Amino acid sequence: MKQIQTSNTNSAGSTQQKIRNEHITLGNLFSPAYRLLFKQEPNLIFNHGFEAYQPYKYTFQNYRFYTSKQPLTEVFFSQFSNQLNFSAGAKVAIPFANGWNFSLDYFRVSQQGFYRSQSVKSTNLTTGMKYQSNKDRYSFIISYIQHVQDEKNNGGIKNESDLISFPLRGSVPTNIENAQTRHQSRTYSIVQYLRLAGNQKWKLFIHNTINFEPSYFKYAHATKAKTPRTTGRFYLMSGESEDTLTLITQWSIYLSMVKTIPN
Q: Which of 33-42, 123-132, 212-221 has the lowest mean pLDDT?
A: 33-42
pLDDT at residue number 184: 92
Task: Write a three-state SS string for 2-43.
Answer: EECCCCCCCCHHHHHHHHHHHEEECCCCCCCEEECCCCCCCC
Q: Provide the pLDDT confidence category of residue 241 given band limits of 50, 70 and 90.
A: very low
Paired strand residues for 222: none
- C-alpha–C-alpha distance, residues 122 and 30, integer Å: 7
The amino acid present at 25, given as its one-letter code, is T
Among the listed residues 195, 219, 214, 197, the one whose alpha carbon sits nearest the alpha carbon of residue 205: 195
> Does residue 139 surpass a pLDDT of 80?
yes
Q: Provide the pLDDT confidence category of residue 107 given band limits of 50, 70 and 90.
A: very high
- Our separate counts of H helices and E strands in the chain read 2, 12
The amino acid present at 247, given as its one-letter code, is L
The amino acid present at 117, given as its one-letter code, is S
- How wide is the angle at C-alpha 134 spanned by C-alphas 131 and 139, nearest 5°? 35
pTM beyond 0.85: no
Exposed e or buried b per residue across 103-142, where buried means at least 16 C-beta atoms within 10 angstroms of its C-beta: bbbbbbbbbbbebbbbbbbbbbbbbbbbebeeeeeebbbe
- C-alpha–C-alpha distance, residues 139 and 144, integer Å: 17
Q: Percent of the chain beyond pLDDT 90? A: 27
The predicted model gives 55-70 an average pLDDT of: 82
